[in-house]
Amino acid sequence: MLPELRAWNAEVVGVSSDEFDRQCDFARTLELSFPLIADSDGIIAKKYKARRPLVSLDRRITYVIDPQGVIAAGFHHELAVNRHDQDVRGFLQERLGPPPAAPAGAD
């Protein structure tokens, strides 16, 4: 997915309330090629309304944030996490048209 998103000039950043060390293990295990931000104090989750109101767990939400910093779309799937990828690509294609060819050597 990342080469296609980067062809649209989009970036992926993960945010999690997990502790930093746990995120590092997660990124290493999955060999992620995008940055993760530790939000162990929940400030980002609260700002983006991703914190569940009665328990201190975050929702699984993917946001598309436009170049002006405005949330252009949000996708919330707790169990069907693979839909986040499909939803983002569908939104970008609808908004920007088909992705340009990914640059050679893009991951």
pLDDT in tens, 75-107: 877 777 678 788 888 888 998 888 777 555 555
2-96 has which fold?
Glutaredoxin (3.40.30)
How far is the C-alpha of 10 from the C-alpha of 48, rounded, in Å?
Answer: 19
DSSP structural state of residue 99: P
Q: What burial class does residue 7 get, using C-beta atoms within 10 Å of its C-beta: 0-12 exposed, 13-18 middle, 19+ buried?
A: middle
Please return the burial class of 98, using the count of CB atoms within 10 Å of its CB with bins 0-12, 13-18 and 19+: exposed
Amino acid identity, residue 3?
Answer: P
Is the pLDDT at 31 greater than 80, yes or no?
yes
Q: What percent of the chain has pLDDT over 90?
A: 1
Strands 14-16 and 36-38: parallel
Average pLDDT over residues 49-72: 77
